[in-house]
Amino acid sequence: MIIGCLRPQDNALAEILSRHPYVTLEPQASSQDRILEFNQDGSWDRTITWSGQDFPIRGLVELIDNNPMVCATSLSLPTPSATLTMIALGPLIRAGIILEAPALHFNFAVEPADIQDNLETFGWNGGATLAIDEQEFGSVLILNAMAKVPNYSDDRVFDELFDEAFGRSFFVHAAPPEADWDTKLVSGTPNAVYNLRITPGEDDSLLTVQVMADKDGKCGAAQVVHAMNVMCGFEESLGLE
């Protein structure tokens, strides 16, 4: 099945789509930034945006059930800061083990409203403390998230929570234990990687979750194509390998 896409304004997205085996880029360009419009069977009624629009189906692809995505005409993906936030906190929110507002430290300018909106949509209404220290690491965006969590007799419970959420994911992975925490892990790729570190306390513990991804990868164009693949019933990694 070949689908047609209006040429998006995002150059990185247009480049990925141009080499996708089942996509034809139409000569007409999309009139809107941060949006992908595509058709199946000649009907231009399917839209993906990563601008935080309040569509019925919204959120991080890995944390959404695929069935509603396949049937959806519109999908809203999280902005870069919200994408990293949901990777870092999504498994903890789902388990209900965050004890107070987490602290989020980014290396780039963020969209606070979209972060809060995605957290609330996923079930966390306790807010978050944001800090920004703008530093360039090439095209890589980085989040250090710190959350107070209960003490457990075996800290592997946290690895298991993240593995349950992302263990079968194509594009969100735990950093290899033997690898240095380096931007080379994600630069120029569609992947995000995370790293967990637990600091035990007397009454509770502090879990630090480091996450990074390329701005045109998991934090941008690649995530859009991943979502399109799911919506169209294609192999999730098609055009992104």
Task: Write the pLDDT tens digit of every residue in 1-31.
Answer: 789 999 999 999 999 999 999 999 988 888 7
Domain layout of the chain by residue ranges: 3-77+219-232, 80-214
The whole-angstrom separation of Cα 199 and Cα 151 is 10
Structural contact between residues 188 and 214, judged by C-beta atoms closer than 8 angstroms? yes
Residue 42 confidence (pLDDT):
65
Fold (topology level) of 80-214: Dihydrodipicolinate Reductase; domain 2 (3.30.360)
Long-range contacts of 108-111 (CB under 8 A, 24+ apart): 108/80, 108/81, 108/132, 108/134, 108/141, 108/142, 109/134, 110/80, 110/81, 111/52, 111/79, 111/81, 111/82
Residues β-bridged to residue 141: 213
pTM for the model stands at: 0.94
Task: Write the pLDDT tens digit of every residue in 133-151.
Answer: 999 999 999 999 999 999 9
Whole-number average pLDDT of the chain: 93
Grouping H, G, I as helix, E, B as strand and the rest as coil, residue 177 is: coil
